[in-house]
Structure formats: structure tokens, C-alpha cells
Amino acid sequence: MSTVLKKDLEVVCNSLEKARSLAPDIGPRFYRLLISESMEMKAVFDSVNMKTQHTRFFSMLNIILIRMRDQRPFISLLQDLGKQHLKYRIRGEDFVIFQAVFLKLLHELFGSEFDESLRNSWVLVFEKINQIMRSGIDYSTAKISRAN
């Protein structure tokens, strides 16, 4: 994995702010797209208050990005967040799905502005976030079942 540079974090923070201004409904759009791309995610979010989830996801993403950009402590926050996701039956591979869907949404919002450079910055940042979140989880002992 490549190193996330401060310039990548600036680009990502700025583009997230722009995405939110382009699409005030970015939260619902993201989760609709996520569920349409992965039926397993539908089962995960079936009993979740989605309005709360939209707000939580983007608030937490914003906090994480700002902490990363400003070089404030964020590793234990992400590891704890990873552990919390076990309660919601999120598996390691689900982080990859979240990333792919979020990148797809950004591409839809930005069109040709979502060039290789912007995409690469997002990929670097997402990979770092995913790596740290997953490091807080011992998947070998975790029992994750999506059967109802």
C-alpha cells in the first residue's frame, strides 16, 4: 500500500465537502447504491434507522479525514470503529464493497472531474482507513452470521 500524503488528504477532504454541496442527499444515495450493488448489505441494514446511519457515516468519515489531515490521533478511533462494525455483522470484505460503491458515487457526482488523480487519492485514503479498521478486529475468532 502506498503512503497517504497530506496532499491526498486535502484533496479528499475538499472533494467530500464539494460532493456534499453537489448532493445534499449523498447519504441516502450512497446507501441506496450500496444496497442495490450488494444484496447482502440489504440484510445488514434492514433493521437500521437509515436516517441516523446516513448522518453517522458522514460525520464519522469527516472526523476521521480531518484527524488524518491534521495529524491528530486517529488509529485507536478506527480500530474501535472496526470492532463496533462486528456488532453489525460487517465482514472484512465488506469494507472493500463500501469503498467501491463510494468511489462509484463520487464518479457519478463529479463526472469527468473524478479523474485518475482524484480517484487515486480516495483509494489511498480508503485503503488506509480500511487497513486500520480491520486491524482492530480478530476475524479468526469473530463469528459473523447474516442468517436471520
- In this prediction, residue 38 carries a pLDDT of 86
The whole-number mean pLDDT for each consecutive block of 10 residues of the chain, a chain of 148 residues, reads: 81 95 92 90 85 90 91 89 83 87 96 96 94 78 52
> What integer pLDDT is reported at residue 139 of this predicted model?
57
Domains and CATH numbers, the chain: 6-135 (1.10.490.10)
Give me the pLDDT at residue 141, please: 56
Chain mean position to CA 37: 15
Instruction: State the pTM of this model.
Output: 0.84
pLDDT value at residue 1: 46
Q: For residue 41, count CB atoms less than 10 angstroms from its CB and return exposed for 0-12, middle for 13-18, buried for 19 or more.
A: buried
What's the CA gap between 33 and 142, in Å, rounded?
Answer: 27
Write down the pLDDT at residue 145.
52
Cβ contacts of residue 134 below 8 Å, gap of 6+?
A: 82, 92, 95
- Separation CA 20–CA 14 (nearest Å): 10
pLDDT for 118 equals 97
Residues in CB range of 83: below 8 A, 6 or more apart: 136, 137
pLDDT of 19 reads: 95
Look at residue 143 in the predicted model and tell me its pLDDT.
57
